Amino acid sequence: MTVLAPKTPGQLDPAVANQKKNFRSGDSRFTAFSGVSLGLAILFVLITLYPIGITLSRLFFPDGSFDPGVLGNVLSQPGLLQILGNTVILVLAGGALAVVGGSVLAWLSVRTDAKIKWIGGVLPLLPFLLPALVGTIGWTMLLSPQSGFINVFIRALFAPLGLVATQGPIDIYSWGGAIFIYGIYMVPFTFLLVAAGLQNTDSQLEEQSRVSGAGIFRTIVRVTLPAVRPSLGAAMLLTVWFGFAFFSGPAILAGRSGIDVLSVRIVELLTFSYPADVGSAVGLSFFMLVAVAIAWWLQTRVLRKSTHSTITGRGKATEIELGKLRWVGRAIIIGYIVISSVLPVLALLWVALRGYWSSDFTLEGLSFQQFYIVLFQDALTRQAIINSLQIAVIGATIGMLVAAVIARFVQSSTGRLGRVVDVLIKIGAPIPAVVLAVGVLLTFAGPPFSLGGSVVSLLVADLAHFLPQATVNADAAAAQVGPQLLEASHISGAGDARTFGRISLPLMLPDLIAGWALLFLWMFGEVNASIILASTRNPVVGMQVYNLYEQGFFGKLAALAILVLLIGGIVVTAATLLARWIRGGQTKVAKLR
Amino acid sequence: MTPLATDITNNDNQLEGTLMASDTQADTTPMVKVDDLVKHFKRSDGATVTAVDGVSIEVMPGEFTVLLGPSGCGKTTLLRCVAGLERPIGGRIQIRGRTVFDGDKKVNLAPEHRGLNMIFQSYALWPHMTAAQNVAYPLSAQKVDKKDIPARVARALEMVGIPELGKQYPSQMSGGQQQRVALARALVSNSDLVLFDEPLSNVDAKVREQLRFELLSMQRDLGFAALYVTHDQTEAMELANTIAVLERGKVAQLGTPQEIYREPRSRYVGGFIGTLNEIEGTVQSVDKGGAATVTTAVGTLTAASIAPEVKAGDRVVVVSRPERVELATKEPTLPNRWKVTVETSVFSGSRTEHVTSFDGNPDFRVWRSDMELFHTGTPAWVGLASQDLRVLPFGA
């Protein structure tokens, strides 16, 4: 009874066909489940890589044959050096700020009694809960030279002293302002990496140093910093990756500060210049892609190397008692939250309730009218919310399901195929949304797809951009379910379907829901790709917030931004509660081998 | 543990029709028959490792067979091949006379169709199910009538001594209790074959001893055949009817615990299962009764027991167990005796351990049940009866 790889059933004699259902085919790993997973993986790898390939071919083969001319045109573009210079300065200065700030926050949160537990948990989530676009707009409302609330407040403070001015003293539309915005919105990334590095370092190393007579600061310099050096290096490289691709912050500021950067110029070339200069945009995208790819690659190398020096077998990390300095530490942690989130959100809330950007602080005339307009009267904002909700719900659901299936496939396949799929599906992770959007535009806007300006093209770009991240979350979910748990189910007499339904799915579900919520947040507040791909006929919230800012409708803008935050917050809270409820009475899902 | 165990087997129907066949010819058909099984692994650097290298063993119904060996000898891989969790590259496996794997005919039955049960090293209890739900799972997977499930689950939990823990989740239990749930889950469907993958290696020594004892009495009561993987030689000898000592993917020796302890086939087997004293030498002669005379550094020794391949003129080692050696300050009357110096004497409770030395044999161990200690450097005699000396080939 020879049962090889699936044949046409008609060829099998009845006896063999009868046996067949009990036997795994020639390669026991390759079941129907594997086939579907592999197909999905290939499709999604193509969705990411094909547009990039189209972009690169446009650059080097504009008319079907190799022509370095386009790249030459890009290089000779006026102001290119200036743009590159601006970008590098902002990335380096903002990155330095973020590495220092993130490290201080990480050290305070991991190693000292100044830590505030819930903030340590929320901080890495901040970029998702509060999109940098919203935060930056909030800060322009605080620090705009004429009517920024903080400036008005400072001027009022000094007015009795006879210092009367109509603007200043602080200008967000400046180099300092730009560096500040880059810095505060990179901090969550540097915090995450350095905190992980600190958690992996045995605190006994530091205790040994203290016992040997070194003080706190000597210990930090001689023991702690060298121990987390790989994490610091990775954090720096991650700021380069993030900084080159950062669009929403500099885009808000560029109009008045005149500080043009790479990402902003690419979008301008495609959307605000007529006719769109696709060739130059593609050329600049290439620069960005190279820069972020190198930074990303170096970063993963640094981190991988660092695992060799990770100190294992750590006991319970002990906290350094800061004494009176504890309150200084707390103030720094709370200060970051206030600066990055609370102040800009309060500014937006004020403007939304007030209805317009006004610095006369009176409670009179506060109303929810702008929210009513945004939700029910203004067709564009209303449509934007509906479109974004659709994209986020559909995109997150497709993305998480696909990611879960691929993660299970990669986990269960021991051969080379699984590893190749894993690498390919994650290879898109460092590609900036702006670059991907350019690729999607080139690939899908024209015939035969003709999806230009449609919600579908946005969905495709979002899925391509976020799927690598989604698979990382799904990997974690799949890793929760040790292989022996599945083997024990088969041994108990259960087949693939029952094992997936009764064992895999219930154990993965809480993590999948959490991953879904993150995907939802990303897609709902997405700005970079939206600005390039969405049209005024099919607006989405990220693009609409940006347009309202450019057009100066601050009341509507603020109300829309607050609604975006509210919806995001509600979804995340609901998902967290749901995940917790599913885990139910079980104390904790033990990680079994 | 209790007589309750027996009425489980009596009351309930067998798992599959095939089980009935094995009952009628219980004495002749092996429960498990592994024939020339080969399994390779690809290491991450691309090299091929042969984990199981042409193994053939049989497990008879009701028999307790232990696969013993150090880590990396292929014992767990072999067990997983029998379970259907690994796919061998060649050979045959039959369970109850039915072919479940055949490398030539490309037969490979999925684990859920092999009608066996298994206990994993990590217990593999599903953390999102209570103990009772875990135990009920095999029954519902095998489409047992829903009405009967609660009673059978309760009986299984009672049998393993934790009737009160049904509603608890695995994470709320101690390691020993989790182990009992895993045991109940393996026994609830009354399979006549249970595989064990080092099930006792994660619990502490006291619990391990207790569980070992209970496991043995349950196996004798219920009469299932067991294939049990361990690296612990004491565990192996206490549990097994038959031990298969594995060495680099091959069966180094197959036999009862007594045979393997008293008559190891090689230095590897003898050294793995207990402590072995070794003296190098050359065989002078082998007489018709199977006794050998061996020239060694301590003199000419006569050994009543020799490995089959040993011939006159061979380079060999003469081995002995420390507890069979006499140690005295006066010359003993035993046929094999030589003078030694006592290096250390240590009292360890159940016995006194002496390390003695002779030129070229610095580490000859003697275990005595008396409590007499010797000063370091005391001259003494060791003596051995011929039947306590065995001659093994030098190689390996």
Q: Which DSSP helix (H) or strand (E) runs through A505?
A: helix A505-524
Rounded CA gap, A437 and B298, in Å?
Answer: 86
Taking one residue from A and the other from B, the number of pairs with CB-CB distance under 8 angstroms is 107
- For residues A567 and A524, is the Cβ–Cβ distance under 8 A? yes
What domain range includes position A211?
80-310+324-358
| Overall number of domains in chain A | 2
- Contact list in B for residue A509 (CB cut-off 8 A) is none
For strand B299-303 and strand B292-296, is the pairing parallel, antiparallel, or unpaired? antiparallel
Listed range (A483-487, B42-46, B74-78, B164-168) with the worst mean pLDDT: B42-46
Nearest CA to A271 out of A528, A554, A557, A524 is that of A528
Q: Residue B41, Cβ neighbours under 10 Å: how many? A: 14
DSSP A26: S
User: Is the domain of A102 the same as that of A230?
Assistant: yes
Same structural domain for residues A156 and A239?
yes
CA distances from B394 to A164, A354, A587, B279, B293 (A): 103, 96, 57, 10, 15
Q: Which residue has the higher pLDDT, B8 or A389?
A: A389
B212: nearest Cα among B189, B235, B233, B182: B235
| Whether A387 and A337 share a structural domain | no
Which residues of A are less than 8 Å from B98 in CB distance?
none
pLDDT at residue B165 tops 50: yes
Which string of b and e fits B101-119 if b means at least 16 CB within 10 Å?
bbbeeebbbbbbbbbbbbb
A411 and A452 together in one domain: yes
Same domain, A476 and A516: yes
Supply the pLDDT for residue B154.
93
Measured in angstroms, the CA of A497 and the nearest CA of chain B are apart by: 11
Confirm if A170 and A143 have CB atoms less than 8 A apart: yes
Question: Same domain, yes or no, for A178 and A271?
Answer: yes
pLDDT in tens, B62-90: 999 999 998 888 899 999 999 988 889 99
Residue A239 located in a structural domain: yes
Same domain, A354 and A427: no
- Closest-approach residue (CA) in chain B for A499: B141
Neighbours of A113 (CB within 10 A): 15
For the segment B380-387, the average pLDDT, to the nearest whole number, is 91
Answer yes or no: is A130 within a domain. yes
Asked if residue A347 belongs to a domain, the reply is yes
In the prediction, which pLDDT does B44 show? 66
Q: How confident is the model at residue B342 (pLDDT cuts 50, 70, 90)?
A: very high
Say whether A492 and B121 touch across the interface (CB within 8 A): no
Residues A393 and A353 occupy one common structural domain: no
B127:A24 CB<8 A: no
Looking at residue A216, which CATH number applies to its domain?
1.10.3720.10
Tell me what pLDDT residue A4 has: 24
Residue B123 with chain A: CB contacts under 8 Å: 592
B106 → closest Cβ in A2, A495, A588: A2
DSSP state of A161: G
Is the CB of A586 less than 8 angstroms away from the CB of B127?
yes
Q: What is the mean pLDDT of chain B?
A: 86
Mean pLDDT computed over B344-372: 87
Question: And the tokens for A205?
Answer: 């190393």
Let me know if residue A142 belongs to a domain: yes
Q: What is the DSSP letter of A317?
A: P
Q: Which of B110, B128, B189 sits opposite A490 (nearest CB)?
A: B110
Contact between A593 and B142 using a beta-carbon 8 Å cutoff:
no
- Report the chain B residue with the minimal C-alpha distance to residue A485: B124
Q: At what angle do helices A80-111 and A229-245 cross, to 10 degrees?
A: 140
Q: Tell me, yes or no, whether A347 and A479 share the same domain.
A: no
Report the relative pairing of strands B48-59 and B32-42 from DSSP bridges.
antiparallel
Chain B residues whose CB is inside 8 A of the A592 CB are 122-125, 127
Nearest CA in chain B to A591: B127
Whether residues B87 and A494 touch (CB distance < 8 A) is answered with no
CB-based contact B106 A492, cutoff 8 Å: no
Indicate the residue of A2, A492, A589 with minimum beta-carbon distance to B138.
Answer: A492
Residue A36 forms part of a structural domain: no
Residue A569 placed within a domain: yes
pLDDT at B1: 39
Whether B126 and A589 lie within 8 Å, measured CB to CB = no
Residues of chain B contacting residue A489, judged by C-beta atoms under 8 Å apart: 126, 137, 141
Distance from CA of A243 to the nearest CA of B (A): 37
Judge whether A211 lies within some domain: yes
Which residue in B has a C-alpha nearest to residue A497's C-alpha? Answer: B141
Alpha-carbon span B109 to A22, nearest angstrom: 6
Q: Which residue in chain A has the smallest CA separation from B169? A: A586
Beta-strand relationship, B305-306 and B390-393: parallel
Q: Name which residue leads in pLDDT, B9 or B352.
A: B352
Is B169 close to A485, i.e. CB distance below 8 A?
Answer: no
Alpha helices for A445-482 (secondary structure H): 455-480
Say whether pLDDT at B244 is over 90. Answer: yes
Residues A257 and A392 occupy one common structural domain: no
Chain B residues with CB under 8 Å of a chain A CB are: 83-85, 87, 105-113, 115-118, 120-128, 137-138, 141-142, 169-172, 185, 189
Domain membership flag for residue A189: yes
Q: How far is B189 from chain A (nearest CA, A)?
A: 9
Q: Is the domain of A280 the same as that of A329?
A: yes
Identify the pLDDT of residue A522.
85
If you measure CA to CA, which chain A residue comes closest to B82? A491
Closest-CA distance of chain A to residue B149, Å: 14
Q: In terms of domains, do A495 and A429 share one?
A: yes
Q: What is the pLDDT of residue B94?
A: 93
Q: Which residues does chain A have with pLDDT short of 50?
A: 1-29, 307-315, 585-593
How large is the average pLDDT for residues B28-57? 86
Of B111, B122, B126, the CB nearest to A503: B126
Q: Which residues of A make CB contacts under 8 Å with B?
A: 1-4, 22-24, 26, 28, 482, 484-485, 487-495, 498, 502-503, 506-507, 583-590, 592-593
Predicted local distance difference test score (pLDDT) of residue A231: 79
pLDDT band at B227 (very low <50, low <70, confident <90, very high): very high
Q: Which domains does chain B have, with CATH numbers?
A: 4-116+191-262 (3.40.50.300), 279-393 (2.40.50.140)
What contacts A356, CB < 8 A, 6 or more positions away?
A554, A555
